[in-house]
Structure 1
Amino acid sequence: MEWVDRKVLQQLAEDIGQEMMPVIIAVFIEEVGEQLSQLRPLYEQGEWDALARVAHSMKSSCGSYGAMPSYQQLMGLEAASKQENATEALNQLLLLEQSLPQVLALLADYV
């Protein structure tokens, strides 16, 4: 599985400049890593609105960096949270907990 669409990263580098890539990727890794650590506690506490908000924010970030599997999982997590569907939310969360660390490790090579 391709965790990150390299074409998206290449376009991002063209848009902002190659020299800025390590800076913005470092920010992405920090912010999304922090948000990832918030998801499980929000799920376990049944904080559906907060879970949907964090998932929405992460979804946008992942899409911008080409992390399409994580993007899809976050889209599913956001939708399940809005419906308060605990089973589907957990399913998406488990998938995300597998995919997103792969994305962050791959992007760390750019920093």
Structure 2
Amino acid sequence: MEWLDQKVLRQLAEDIGQEMMPVVISVFVEEVGEQLAQLRPLYEQRDWSALARLAHSMKSSCGSYGAEPSYQQVMALELACRQEDAEAAGQLLTQLEHSLPQVFSHLALYH
């Protein structure tokens, strides 16, 4: 599976400058890592509105870095939360807990 769209990363590097990539990647990993850690407790509390907001926030971050599988999962998670679909949300959360660490590992290789 392709965890990252290299074309998106190349465009990002072109837009901000290659020398800034390690900085923005570090910020992405830290921020999205913190958000990922917040997902499971919110799910267990069934706080659907907070979970949907957090998923929405993560969606743009994942999209900006070309993390397409995670982007699709977090987009579906946001929808599942808005529908209060605990089963789908639980499955998507488990998928994100697998895919985002893969994204972080691949981003670490980028810079």
**Do the structures match in fold with TM over 0.5?**
yes
- Which runs of structure 2 are paired with 1:23-62 in the superposition (5 Å)? 23-62=23-62
Which sections of structure 1, spanning at least 5 residues, go unmatched?
none
- Which runs of structure 2 are paired with 1:1-111 in the superposition (5 Å)? 1-111=1-111
Which sections of structure 2, spanning at least 5 residues, go unmatched?
none
Instruction: Quote the Cα distance in structure 2 between the aligned partners of 1:61 and 1:96.
Output: 14
Instruction: Quote the Cα distance in structure 2 between the aligned partners of 1:84 and 1:20.
Output: 39
Instruction: Report the CA distance between 1:109 and its aligned residue.
Output: 2.0
Aligned-partner residue type, residue 45 of structure 2: Q
Instruction: Quote the Cα distance in structure 1 between the aligned partners of 2:37 and 2:109.
Output: 21
Instruction: Quote the Cα distance in structure 2 between the aligned partners of 1:29 and 1:75.
Output: 18
Instruction: Report the CA distance between 1:110 and its aligned residue.
Output: 3.1
Instruction: Report the CA distance between 1:95 and its aligned residue.
Output: 0.8
Structure 1 residue runs of 4 or more that deviate by more than 6 Å after TM superposition: none
Instruction: Report the CA distance between 1:44 and its aligned residue.
Output: 0.2
Instruction: Report the CA distance between 1:48 and its aligned residue.
Output: 0.4
Instruction: Report the CA distance between 1:108 and its aligned residue.
Output: 1.5
Identity of aligned residues (%): 72
Instruction: Quote the Cα distance in structure 2 between the aligned partners of 1:38 and 1:91.
Output: 16
Q: CA RMSD in A?
A: 0.7
Instruction: Report the CA distance between 1:33 and its aligned residue.
Output: 0.2
Instruction: Quote the Cα distance in structure 2 between the aligned partners of 1:16 and 1:22.
Output: 11
Question: How many residues were matched structurally?
Answer: 111
Provide Cα deviations, 1:2-41, integer angstroms capped at 9, x if missing partner.
0000110000000000000000000000000000000000
